[in-house]
A and B are shown apart, each in its own frame.
Chain A
Amino acid sequence: MKKQRSPAGPRAKALGLGIGGIVLFFLIWEATPRLGLVSDRYLPPASEVLVRLAQYFTEAAFWKDVADTMTSWALGLAIATVAAIVVGLIIGSSRFLRRATHTTIEFLRPIPSVALIPLAVLIFGTSIESTLLLVVYASFWQVLLQLLYGIADVDAVANDTAKSYGLGRLARVRYVIWPTALPYLMTGLRLAAAVALILAITAELIIGTPGLGKQIALTQSGGAISSMYALVLATGLIGVLINLAARIIEKRVLSWHPSVRGEVVL
């Protein structure tokens, strides 16, 4: 993929301004408690929180929490994706099933996954399965819906052409439906990756399954305020990394697709 050449000026300026924005944010944060606008018992200065975050980076216990959170995130996302792809391809490949399942999907989808928290506690207690239940439920719909949109978008002429050339059902799924639905699937995955992190942290925060969320609840009730802020920053960093990774993977997987190749001027 060729990079578009543009004069370095505006881009460097944008980058500089962006960094300036970050610095400005931390300066305001630093000043607010120092000037006494908000008591530093509730909002410790930024420097204190950043130092605490740096300390966390050297602690094995912190990385254990990160690993716990990321394990439930990755496992949940993987289960949800596989399930959604299988269900999506089955429903999507038949007009009858698509129509018949429409109301049920529309009814189940808006149920907020946090409504399942009591159920998860009841069945699984504070083990990782509780987190998984929430993560899988929430991310499953994201992937499934996008996939169904994608399958509905399949060009009828292309599908009929494939049929008249004697491509079987499986071959059509592989060569016609899959490539059309893939961009939608990647969008679904990107959304699901963000949602999965939210739900993983939520489960840890509310249910108390091991991970960063639980640690945040503990530091808050224990009054270790700068630790709590440091952990919140850490979750934000993880979120940024996940978003970045999702975008890079999306570009890689869809490098053949016009929307990414950028040859078509839209």
Chain B
Amino acid sequence: MSPLKRVAYFFGLPIVLIVLWWALSFGSTNFFVPKPFELAQTLWTTWIGERFFEDVLPSLGRLAVGLLFAIGLGIVLGLLIGSTRWLRNLLEPMLEFFRAIPPPVLVPLLMLLIGVNDSMKVAVIISGAIWPVLLNTVEGVRAVDSVLNDSCRSYGIRGFARIRYFVLPAVTPQIMAGVRQSLSIGLILMVISEMFASSSGLGFTIVQFQRNFAIPEMWSGIVVLGLIGLGLALIFQFVERRVLHWYHGLKEITHDS
């Protein structure tokens, strides 16, 4: 495909949609629907400046801390549970149950146990985002290639070296699939924890705009959340490509043959 065509495919539909939106909202005085330029302006004036440091950055910080803990804990516990058979049998039904609890109901619960503060919000993110990583890791460790496993054993590779050079690479594809789910759950929980109990942060600010009928500002908040989601997805893609480049290469080869 020529570069020009690629650019056209990339920007074609978004541009058509924006033009359509602009044309449809041109003469309209509908209170609920903002105009494209107006929205872009509001986006700039509302979020760049003081609010960025007071609401957006703390929210992002909590999200980052929560996600890092969730992923780290999920992998470590997953490796531990996955490689010990009795532990896995013991905990599996309970873990399935915890995973099935819709994470948002933990917000009022953790509010009681921890109080309304930053660590509660981080705890909410961890308690919701850990399950996909944890369970995927357990599942991945269980399904490692048995021939490779036996080879490792006969070469006397065990302990840390076995985890580092055999188990971890083998389960990384599963872990990454879990991480992808965790990211979106984490973002949802960040917003909910701030909407439910907070006096600052993105979620709180957006609800505040809506209550005050500051409609363009509310829309701009939705756009900011969308951009954060998009940013997370891009970061994930970048990391996944680096971590799993061998895996994608392998899949291409087996697909072609």
> Which A residues are closer than 8 A to B by beta carbons?
13-14, 17-22, 24-25, 38, 42-43, 99-104, 106-119, 121-123, 194, 197-198, 201-202, 205-206, 213, 216-217, 220, 225, 228-229, 231-232, 235-240, 242-243
Contact = CB atoms under 8 A, between A and B. Distances in A.
Contacts of B90: 17-18, 20-21, 24
Nearest to A196: B102
A206 B195 contact: yes
B226 A198 contact: no
Contact of A116 (B14, B89, B112, B222): B222
Interface stretch (B68-76, B165-173, B184-192): B184-192
Interface of B is mostly: helix
B226 A201 contact: no
Contact of A229 (B32, B109, B187, B218): B109
B230 A118 contact: no
Interface residues of B, number: 54
B207 interface: yes
Contacts of B98: 236
28 contacts: A14-B89, A17-B86, A17-B90, A20-B90, A21-B90, A21-B94, A38-B113, A103-B9, A103-B13, A106-B230, A111-B222, A111-B230, A112-B188, A112-B191, A115-B225, A121-B210, A197-B102, A198-B188, A201-B105, A202-B102, A205-B104, A205-B196, A213-B104, A236-B98, A236-B101, A238-B100, A243-B96, A243-B100
Given A206-B196, A220-B108, A42 B113 contact: yes
B9 A99 contact: yes
B86 A103 contact: no
B133 to A, nearest CB: 16
B233 A103 contact: no
Contacts of A229: 109
Nearest to A202: B104
A74 B86 CA distance: 37
A232 B89 contact: no
B178 interface: no
B218 A119 contact: yes
Contact of B97 (A42, A197, A206, A236): A236
Given A101-B13, A205-B107, A217-B108, A110 B229 contact: yes
B60 interface: no
B93 A18 contact: yes
A240 B192 contact: no
A235 B101 contact: yes
Given A100-B13, A106-B233, A117 B100 contact: no
A237 to B, nearest CB: 8
A103 B11 contact: yes
Contacts of B91: 21
Interface string B172-200: 00000000000010011001100110000
